[in-house]
């Protein structure tokens, strides 16, 4: 069986948190089948020092001017080339914008099965058995595929890889296709973070679609004030105009790692989990016991969020 290959996203000189989780999952896979973890990094120019990729045994670096920014066509050309050279047993992406662009295209071009939204897996008799989220986490699908295979992992489903000794660095030649791409990176637009920045908050109270009206939001604000926390919302709340965009948590909002994350009426769609699953302590309140948020929460309560906010706020003020 070949090694496991992880696509690593590098942002401003550091590995993305979701890539650390992918490396952690790959480390578990490698330990179970007795193989190595190889991480692939794309760069526009040679770096003065290798990126820190915890959990990786081998760091595969591909350098080319077209890789200054993530262009799906260019990235896919590189990954496909690396897969044909290294013949890994599994190629791991995270379920994010980049992973969505690359995993399905690679599976088609390399003629490999694709298992998506994976939250857990095991290797049995030369096959991989995976558990995946479906319908926004409302259902769990169990599937099986023969190696070699392509995987996309749900953010927050796996622990980040622990540090290891410096990996072996292997410089690979970029594929010739990078010199004749049909698409071109034009510009990048980033959210303005010059004002309020939710990412630095140590405590966050997030309100979700379970809020019946704005009076419920007022209760959440009051609880946040009592806790000394910042108020945030899931996408449905922001779409309603109840909270500004800079207070949205999720794939299309902020990615945060507070010490305390109190989710009130948040269902826990994959897009939302990507933004908050790294919190140190997650407390979820939702009347639906099957809500996906309970899959990542450390503590949970299936009660009315308004009643919960009132009761907790009163207890905190009483010094309970």
How confident is the model over 155-201, as pLDDT tens digits?
777 888 876 667 889 999 999 999 999 998 888 776 555 556 687 88
Residues 60 and 164 in one domain: yes
How confident is the model over 102-137, as pLDDT tens digits?
999 999 999 999 999 998 999 988 899 999 988 766
Give phi and psi for 221, each to the nearest 5: -60, -40
In a domain? residue 125: yes
The CATH number of whichever domain residue 41 belongs to comes to 3.40.50.620
Count other C-beta atoms under 10 Å from residue 217's C-beta.
Answer: 20
Find the domain containing 168 and state its range. 4-180
In a domain? residue 188: no
Residues 97 and 237 in one domain: no
The CATH number of whichever domain residue 277 belongs to comes to 3.40.50.1220
Last residue of a domain, one of 146, 180, 214: 180
Last residue of a domain, one of 180, 210, 240: 180
Residues 149 and 264 in one domain: no
Residues 24 and 125 in one domain: yes
Rounded to an integer, the average pLDDT of 126-155 is 88
């Amino acid at each position: 069986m070949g090694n496991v290959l992880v696509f690593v996203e590098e942002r401003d000189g550091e590995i993305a948190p979701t890539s650390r989780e992918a490396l952690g999952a790959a480390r578990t896979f490698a330990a179970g089948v007795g193989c190595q973890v190889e991480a692939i990094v794309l760069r526009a120019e040679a770096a003065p020092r290798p990126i820190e990729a915890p959990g990786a045994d081998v760091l595969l670096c591909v350098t080319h001017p077209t890789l200054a920014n993530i262009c799906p066509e260019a990235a896919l050309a590189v990954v496909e080339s690396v897969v044909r050279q290294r013949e890994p047993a599994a190629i791991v992406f995270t379920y994010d914008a980049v992973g969505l662009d690359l995993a399905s295209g690679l599976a088609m071009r390399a003629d490999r099965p694709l298992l998506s939204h994976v939250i857990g897996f095991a290797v049995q008799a030369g096959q991989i058995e995976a558990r995946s989220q479906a319908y926004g986490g409302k259902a769990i699908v169990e599937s099986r595929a023969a190696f070699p295979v392509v995987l996309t992992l749900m953010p927050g489903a796996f622990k980040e890889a622990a540090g290891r000794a410096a990996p072996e660095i292997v410089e690979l030649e970029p594929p010739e296709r990078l010199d004749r791409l049909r698409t071109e990176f034009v510009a990048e637009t980033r959210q303005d973070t010059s004002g309020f920045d939710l990412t630095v908050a140590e405590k966050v109270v997030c309100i979700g679609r379970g809020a019946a009206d704005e009076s419920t939001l007022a209760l959440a604000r009051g609880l946040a004030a009592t806790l000394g926390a910042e108020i945030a919302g899931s996408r449905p709340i922001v779409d309603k105009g109840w909270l500004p965009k800079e207070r949205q948590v999720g794939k299309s909002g902020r990615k945060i790692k507070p010490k305390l994350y109190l989710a009130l009426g948040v269902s826990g769609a994959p897009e939302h989990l990507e933004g908050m699953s790294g919190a140190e302590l997650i407390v979820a309140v939702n009347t639906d016991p099957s809500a996906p948020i309970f899959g990542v929460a450390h503590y949970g309560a299936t009660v009315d969020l308004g009643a919960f906010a009132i009761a907790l706020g009163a207890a905190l003020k009483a010094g309970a």
